Amino acid sequence: MAKMIEKIEENGNAETVSPEAVMEEMAGHMEDISAVLDLVAAANRSGMISFLKSLVENYRGITDVVVEEATSQSNMRFIRNLLSIYTVLSRVDPERLRPFMENAARSVEDADRLKAEGPLGLLKIGSQLKDPDVSAGIRILLSMAKGFTEGRKNK
């Protein structure tokens, strides 16, 4: 852990600059200074300055709340689940995932039309399973379902 600063020593080699030299240097950068002042004015109008000031003035209370929320059981579970989803998505090739997601979106859009076709019977399901794409999709879903209970066999 870093050691706390106890004493600040001044640099004895600091040069004294005349006000005229400072003004001359600033005159050469008037466009830049104007841009910075415009930025500060925009941040003030938007409320960003007062927001940042409040954050700085109340940082201890804010960090206490953030730490308390981040370490709550439900948020820790959410973060772990989010990391698990990230792990899955980072392993899947985007070119393989894109058609799946596009098809899923189309299926959601077609849900009302599919409801109108009536319930699925065993014969309809059996005929759909003969389609290699459907069969492969069912195998993936069954493999994923198996993954939910696979680790529990030893417990």
pLDDT by residue (tens digit) across 41-58?
Answer: 999 999 999 999 999 999
Q: Which tokens hold the place of 119?
A: 């319930």
Residue 70 near residue 63 (C-beta atoms within 8 A): no
Residues 44 and 81 in one domain: yes
Report which of residues 148 and 154 the model is more confident about. 148
55 and 73 assigned to the same domain: yes
Per-residue pLDDT of 105-136, as tens digits, reads: 988 888 888 788 888 889 888 988 999 988 98
Whether 46 maps to a domain, the answer reads yes
Q: For residues 49-71, b (16+ Cβ closer than 10 Å) or e, as one string? A: eeeeeeeeeeeeeeeeeeeeeee
Q: Are residues 115 and 67 in the same domain?
A: no
Domain contains 57: yes
Q: How many domains does the chain have?
A: 2
So what's the pLDDT on residue 50?
94
Whether 99 and 80 map to the same domain: the answer is no
The answer as to whether 21 is a domain residue is no
Query: What pLDDT does 11 receive?
Result: 67
Longest dimension (CA), the chain: 94
pLDDT on residue 46 = 96
Better pLDDT: 16 or 77: 77
> What values do phi and psi take at 120, rounded to 5?
-85, 130
End-of-domain residue from the set 58, 76, 91: 91
23-44: per-residue pLDDT in tens? 888 888 999 999 999 999 999 9
Q: Are residues 87 and 60 in the same domain?
A: yes
Instruction: State pTM to two decimals.
Output: 0.43
Does 82 map to a domain? yes
* 4 is a domain residue: no
Are 84 and 103 in a shared domain? no
Q: Cβ(52)–Cβ(44) under 8 Å? A: no
Same domain, yes or no: 97 and 82: no
How distant, in Å, are the alpha carbons of 44, 63, 67 from that of 58? Answer: 19, 9, 14
Does any domain span residue 58?
yes
Look over the chain and give the mean of its residue pLDDT values, rounded to a whole number.
Answer: 87
Q: Flag whether 99 is in a domain.
A: yes
- Helix-, strand-, coil-residue percentages of the chain, each rounded to 5: 75, 0, 25
Calculate the alpha carbon distances from 38 to 42, 48, 51, 121 in Å: 6, 14, 18, 69
Domain boundaries, position 58: 35-91
Q: What is the mean pLDDT of residues 89-102?
A: 88
How big is the CA angle at 48 (ends 62 and 41), to the nearest 5 degrees? Answer: 155
Confidence of residue 155 (pLDDT cuts 50, 70, 90): low
Check whether 80 has a pLDDT greater than 90. yes
pLDDT of 87 strictly over 80: yes
75 and 45 belong to one structural domain? yes
Are residues 77 and 105 part of one domain? no
pLDDT digits (tens, 9 = 90+) for 9-22: 776 666 778 888 88
- Assigned domain for 29 exists: no
* Other beta carbons within 10 Å of 145: 10
